[in-house]
Copies of this chain bind each other. A is one copy, B any other.
Amino acid sequence: MEATTKQFRKRNAILTCLRGTMLHPSAEMVYEMLQETNPDISLATVYRNLALFRSQGLIQSLGTVNGSERFDADTHPHVHFVCTECGAVMDLPQVEPPLSLGAAAEESTGCQVQGCQLTFTGLCGSCKSKMKEETS
């Protein structure tokens, strides 16, 4: 089985890491999370495999938060919240992505819509609390 051979052990570790976290991590974050189980992994390998997975459609990029690209193993269309204070990214499964609007966009512009990204920004719960403390 591919997963167990030495050749693909690190590649699999990266994908497994991404699939097992809710943090929507950056390459660096994946690298750090893997230190425990794969202390000999290289950051270049993380970057290379993330690029590979994305080209295969196994993962998607959420764009850049505070200078670093963030990745998500969930490729279904769904909505995100990004904390502008600490950079935390979380899913908003309660909110429905307005995919239907894509058709309207196509009609009016002649573009071919392939993806839709809805992101809310603001303060996460803990940063909101911190702000309150500081002002009080």
Contact = CB atoms under 8 A, between A and B. Distances in A.
Interface of A: 63-64, 69, 79, 81, 83-84, 90, 92, 94-96, 98, 101-102, 104-105, 108-125, 128
A92 to B, nearest CB: 5
A1 to B, nearest CB: 34
Contacts of A110: 125, 128
A111 B123 contact: yes
Contacts of A115: 84, 120-122
B118 A118 contact: yes
A89 to B, nearest CB: 11
A109 B90 contact: yes
Contacts of A118: 98, 101, 116-119
